[in-house]
Amino acid sequence: MRIDGTLIDDTFAEAFPMKATRLVITAHTPTWARAAAQSLCGFATSVIDCGCEAGIEREIDAADTPDGRPGIAVLMFAVSSKELAKQIMRRVGQCVLTCPTTAVYSGIDPHTSRAPLSDLAPLGGALRFFGDGWQIAKMLGDTRYWRVPVMDGEFVCEESTVTVKAVGGGNLLLLARDIDHALAAAEAAVAAMHQLPNVITPFPGGVVRSGSKIGSKYAGAVASTNDPFCPTLVGVAKRTELTAEVGCVLEIVIDGLTDADVGAAMTAGIAAASRAGGVLRISAGNYGGKLGPYHFHLRELAASIGTAAAVAAAGPRAGSQSGPQSDPPSGPQAGDGTPGPDDGGSTR
């Protein structure tokens, strides 16, 4: 199968179950909301060594955030509920609580989520202790928020965030003539994927040059370079997946709230990379079906390109999962100084 002259390998990407959440970070200006989000997502490329995988999903207009301020939606993925909760507490505490004017809210509505629900992970329930007894709980409807005094006013944080069962490790391998063509195709593919809701590409700029395989000749190393796809090892390694024309291989890893989200992103990426030119083949990484239960067959995805579904996927963001999942303006205003009802004490 070829698309715009690019050969689509007869193979599949193998993905695995993860736990995920969406956080909505708001601030006085979009600049500060993004600063907090970027800091939170730092060192969150791979669960192999980072604890979680995280990325900015999209900007949110002030009219659509819980407190009526500019916002950023961030997706976080981890291999277990326990690890995800730990990473949320650490990253929000160090990167959002510390950032001027910010507030943070749960971004998944349990009543409308297409991803299967998992657990509640603490947000304000853990971070409130920073208030040293001065924190105040505020109930709005069925939702509890914490107001923690800080030097620029108040840090407002929802009590907990909804987590869901999610999918990690979808991937594409772009085999190109040279680095310029590989980068152009990868950038185009990532840009197309980022038009879709519910997915992130957690590596720098969404692209991985150090694709890995499981295991190593060295004891203790859980992963090592994917030598069959290294151009400099053609003719040296025992096995290669490359021909002499391939001068560069880049990988894109995709995490999504559902397998349908990952498949839609991969489809958009295949279409965009093929159109970019200079990509000889598009392949994917798998482990013979032993790593995870989600198998994304490239030719099946490519066959849908040009259909109404694929055209819709390449368009503007849409869908109930893309926006914030709390009610707008009725939520607490960070730093508004309004006492409001509380649930009975700053330390409970």
Q: What is the CATH number of domain 18-164?
A: 3.30.70.520
Nearest to 250 by CA among 191, 155, 184, 314: 184
Provide the pLDDT for residue 326.
41
348 residues of the chain, pLDDT tens digit each: 999 999 999 999 999 999 999 999 999 999 999 999 999 999 999 998 999 999 999 999 999 999 999 999 999 999 999 999 999 999 999 999 999 999 999 999 999 999 999 999 999 999 999 999 999 999 999 999 999 999 999 999 999 999 999 999 999 999 999 999 999 999 999 999 999 999 999 999 999 999 998 889 999 888 899 999 999 999 999 999 999 999 999 999 999 999 999 999 999 999 999 999 999 999 999 988 888 999 999 999 999 996 534 444 444 443 333 344 444 334 555 544 444 445 544 444
Nearest to 99 by CA among 181, 23, 48: 23
Nearest to 253 by CA among 302, 300, 211: 211
* Domain map (residue ranges) of the chain: 2-14+168-313, 18-164
**β partners of residue 166:** 18
Count CB atoms within 10 A of the CB of residue 174: 30
Q: What is the CATH number of domain 2-14+168-313?
A: 3.30.70.520
Q: Are 199 and 265 in contact (CB under 8 A)?
A: yes
Whole-prediction pTM value? 0.88
Provide the pLDDT for residue 332.
57
Provide the pLDDT for residue 344.
45
Do the domains spanning 2-14+168-313 and 18-164 agree at the CATH topology level? yes
